Each structure stands twice: as C-alpha cells, then as structure tokens.
Amino acid sequence: MRSQGRWATLVMAALVLGAAFPFFRAIAGSLTPEAQLFEGAPLWPSPAVLEHYRALFAERAFWLPIRNSLIVAGSTTLFCVTIGSLCAYALARLRFRGKTLLLGVILAVSMFPQIAIVSPLFLLLRSVRLINTYPGLVLPYLTFAMPLAVWLLVGYFRQLPAELEEAAMVDGASRLRAFREVIVPLALPGLAATAILTFVYSWNEFLFALSFTLGPERQTVPVAIALFRGQYQVPWGQVLAAAIVATAPVALLVLAFQRRIVQGLTAGAVKG
Amino acid sequence: MPSVEPRGAERREARLAYGMVAPAVATILLIALFPLTWTVWESLHLHDLRMPWLGQPFVGLENYVEVLRERRFWGAMAHTAWFAAASVSLELVLGCVLALAMNRTFRGRALVRASILIPWAIPTVVAALVWRFMFEGLEGWLTDDLGAWLPVILADTWKETPFVALLLLAGLQGIDPALYEAARIDGASPWRQFRYVTLPLLAPAILVALIFRTMNAFRVFDLIYVLTGGGPGTATEPIALYTFNSLMHNLRFGYGSALSVLVFLVTFALALGYIRLLGRGLTEGRP
C-alpha cells in the first residue's frame, strides 16, 4: 500500500511537471530579448525583459483583438445562457410531444464538424453583409455554443427537486414565474458553470473567426496570434507574449471555478 | 388551477413548453440545419467563386467522383486516421495512468486538478504556437515529412489528456470500494485487481472517452493549421484543412462542399456509435 502511494505521487509529479513545462518555456521566451531568441532561446533569459509585452500593445494594438474576443464571446455567452435556459427548463420539466426528438437533434448538432457548415455560413453571411462584423461571428458561434449550453443546463435543472416549483405553483405562481423566481436563483451555480464553459469555447474558437473576418479590426485573439507576421521571420517574443496574455483569462477562470468546470465537463461528456 | 381540468392543463403545459423552446430551436434550425442542407445542395452543383460566369449548374455526383479520384483527398484521410489513432491511444493510456494516480485523497489534489486543466482550457492556437516554438529550436523536425508529426501529436496529447483523465476519474469514483476489499481478501495482487475489477468496470467510461476523442481528432484543424500549416508540402494535411483550403483559398465551393459532406458522414457514423453506447449506458443506470 505504502509503495503504491509513493508510485502514484511520482507518476503524478512527472505528469504535472510535463504539463507545466511548455508554459515555462513560453513565459521564458516572452521575456527573452529578441537577439537571444534567434540564437536558440536560453532556458531562462538574463536579463529578463518586458519589451515584447510593451511592443504587443504599443505597436501591434493587441487590445483590439482582445476587445473583439470579449465582445464576441461575451455576447455568445449571454445569448446562449438566456435562450438556452428557457429551452433547457422546458426539456427538463415540462411534458410535450417531440421532446426526445428535440434532445436528439440538439445532441447531434453539438457533434457537427464545423468544417461541414463553413461554406454555406460564409455565403449566408455574405448575402446579408455580415462578413467581418460582430453578429457575423456571434451567429455562427451559436452552432456549437447553444447545444452545449442547453445540454449542460438540462442536466442542472434535472438535479433540482421538482417539489420546489410545485410548492410555488400551489401558492398561485405561474410556471414561468416559478421558473424565474424559484428555479433560476437555485440553479445559479449551474448557470455560472455553463456560462464559463460557453465563454471559454467561444474565446478559443478559430475556424469560424478565421473564415468570417477580413482584417485586424474584427479579428479575435486566436486569429490575430496565428497570423502574427514579422518583416522577415516570426516575431517569437511577441507571439509568446500574446500567447500568455490570451491564456491568462481562461487560466484564471479555470483556477477560480475548477470544481464546477470539472462537474460540467464530465457531465456534459458522459451524458453527451 | 392545474388540477381542475387535467386535459386543458396538459395542453397548456405543452403550449408553454413550445414557447420556451422556440427561440433556441429557431436558432439551431437557422444556423445549423439549414446550412447543412445547403452544403448538400452545393455539393451537387458546380460553384467556383473565382469563375462566377460559369453560374451554378447542376452536376449530379461529379464533385464526389472528383474527390474520390483525388490523391490529395486520400492522403488527407490517411493523415487524419493516423493522427487520430496515434494521439487518442496515447491520451487514453496517459489519461488512465493520471486518473488512477489522482483517484485517492491527498494534499494538493485541487492544485493538481487545476494545473492539468489549464492546458485543456487554453486556445488550441496558443498550444500549437508554444509547441512550434519549442520545436523550431530543434533542427530538422518540422521540415521532415514524418518528424513534423511529433510536435503535432505531442501538442494534442498535452492538451487533451486532462479531459480523458477527468472522464476516467469520474468513472473510477463510481466503482464500489467494497469490490477491492473483496479482491484483497481473496489475495488478488494490485495488477489483478486492476485487470479484473477496475478495467471491466471502467470500460464504459473508456469507450465514451475513446469515441468522444476520436470524433474530435477527426475534426482536427486549428492545431495543424498553426503548427505545420499541413506541411512540409501536404505531409501533415488533415481532411478538415484540405477542405478549408479547397473552400476558402481555392474558392471551389461545389468541390469543397462535397468534401464537407464526406467529413460530416464520417463524423456522423462515429456519433451514432457514441449515442448508441450512451443510450445503453443510460438504460443500465450509469450516469
């Protein structure tokens, strides 16, 4: 038993260090002066410089993609959680025909390969002049975010005891009011977890953002970083600084809400 | 009063339900199902955005015939299959080890969970760039047809193993500890306990992780677009990248749509297997 515990600790330490090493390299690289980067980056720079972070915002206007990503991911999340929670409540609690079919369709849509709908979405957005706009990204993002949100929320609503709104309804409240005033406040942790996962997925999305934007004024963070170009070669210092900046918000969210995220993730995947 | 007239109440409930699901259903119809139908329509027509004067004549299955005759298509399919097999099996083995190691109470467990979650949560583009940076310092890997796969598979494993580990951990936590107690009393070694208690009971979770990851690996795009660009040449080009290039670079919408439909069909077949397994899991009373 003893040796088993030691074995587990060792394995875990190795895997955790392995997981952390690329982050360490990225942070070190983002602090290394440009000249040293081209001669094979040292393990840790001396002197460590913040030059790349300064250039990122002063010369590359990196706040622009950050703003775009916040707007797009934020709107997608807001839209999905409000509309999705109505739909999820009906699916979790009300009796109506076609419920199983609807659940099946939502599950199927959540598994759509994005590449299968890129071309019609492009033609559709072009015909209504939404290429290179915020709605032109939020709408396509709903294809993956909406099924995800609905699916997770159905799970959360089902966990709440049905007696709660029944009691409210006996007291004369309508279904809708019982939902708003009894269920929503109780499901807040679930709503928060859903919002976080939706936000993270939208923040990270690449294919749609690459296909439906034309220039820096609407590019999201992942697209902006992927298309970074220097005059002669990849400006690695700035790329890595941008990578750290793009990682920070999701890393903070994960650290703050890890328990809920893990619950949502495993429920979402095991159940769909 | 809901109890006075049950039929009317039932109807009212259904009407309310349709009202509540309508906005979400309308969105899904508009942005997912309608475009998918459009893709199928496009795939049966000649549509080249570079040559608008050709119009969009109906060509039947010609686009599909052209796809199936194209060597680059078969190459891309082979790359995708090989990538999925290599990365998913690595992720399953490592994820299983990690889940077993984490399935015990110890100090700092929350910290470990958070630290392995971060690679999963960051943008794939960032993961790809960091691994490209690490491999650009090493001469020869990214310029070699076979060697270029190493950073691709390592980056995917680095990013996705946490997800597999957490799925399997959830499965492990559902196993009754009394079973191990019984096995120990019968004198079973740790290996035999793993082989005859853990593995059979973990099988459903392993299958779910396997199919879920295979489906995602089959759609791989961001990672390779950023890490190798499909190169050198087309040596690491997966099917999603080939489709993207046909559509957004060559602007061949008819041909690209035929590719899209084929990708969709393969993913759909995998998804069907997944749903069937899940359905069985649900009726057996698993989570």
pLDDT at B279: 63
pLDDT at A1: 46
Residue B148 scores a pLDDT above 80:
yes
Across the interface, of B32, B126, B127, the residue whose CB is closest to A109 is B32
Query: A90 vs chain B: nearest CA distance in angstroms?
Result: 5
Quickly list DSSP for chain B: -TTT-HHHHHHHHHHHHHHHHHHHHHHHIIIIIHHHHHHHHHHTB--BTT-GGG---B-TTHHHHHHHH-HHHHHHHHHHHHHHHHHHHHHHHHHHHHHHHHSS--TTHHHHHHHHHHHHHS-HHHHHHHHHHHHHTSTTSTTSTTTTHHHHHHHHHHHHHHHHHHHHHHHHHTS-HHHHHHHHHTT--HHHHIIIIIHHHHHHHHHHHHHHHHHHHHT--HHHHHHTTT-STTTT--HHHHHHIIIIIT-BHHHHHHHHHHHHHHHHHHHHHHHHHHHHHHHTT--
Question: Residues 6 or more apart from B241 whose CB is under 8 A from it?
Answer: B76, B221, B224, B225, B230
Helix residue ranges per DSSP H, A94-187: 99-110, 118-127, 135-159, 163-170, 175-178, 184-186
Measured between beta carbons, the chain B residues lying within 8 angstroms of A122 are 247-248
Please give the average per-residue pLDDT across B76-105, as a whole number.
92
Query: A161 vs chain B: nearest CA distance in angstroms?
Result: 18
> Is A8 near chain B, with CB under 8 Å?
yes
Please give the average per-residue pLDDT across B94-115, as a whole number.
83
pLDDT at B1: 45
CB A140 within 8 A of CB A208: yes
For residue B191, how many other CB atoms are within 10 A of its CB? Answer: 8
Residues in chain A, how many?
A: 272
Residue B287 scores a pLDDT above 50:
no
Query: A183 vs chain B: nearest CA distance in angstroms?
Result: 15
pLDDT at A68: 97
Which of A13, A241, A30 lies closest to B115, judged by CA? A13
Please give the average per-residue pLDDT across B183-211, as a whole number.
88
Going residue by residue through chain A, which has 272 residues, state the pLDDT in tens, using 9 for 90 and above. Answer: 456 678 878 888 888 888 889 999 999 999 998 878 777 777 787 788 899 999 999 988 899 999 999 999 999 999 999 999 999 999 999 999 989 899 888 888 888 889 989 999 999 999 999 999 999 999 999 999 999 999 889 988 988 888 888 888 888 888 888 888 888 898 888 899 899 989 999 999 999 999 999 988 999 999 999 998 766 678 899 999 999 999 988 888 888 888 777 776 666 554 33
ipTM over 0.85: yes
Span of A45-59, B48-62, B262-276 with lowest mean pLDDT:
B262-276
pLDDT per residue as tens digits for the range B15-47: 999 999 999 999 999 988 899 999 999 999 999
> Is A6 near chain B, with CB under 8 Å?
no
Across the interface, of B17, B110, B133, the residue whose CB is closest to A90 is B17
Across the interface, of B113, B215, B287, the residue whose CB is closest to A262 is B113
Query: B18 vs chain A: nearest CA distance in angstroms?
Result: 8
pLDDT at B225: 95
Measured between beta carbons, the chain A residues lying within 8 angstroms of B137 are 40-41
The answer to whether the CB atoms of B260 and A11 lie below 8 A apart is no
The answer to whether the CB atoms of B101 and A5 lie below 8 A apart is no
The answer to whether the CB atoms of B24 and A83 lie below 8 A apart is yes
pLDDT at A77: 97
pLDDT per residue as tens digits for the range B216-233: 899 999 999 999 999 899
> Is A150 near chain B, with CB under 8 Å?
yes
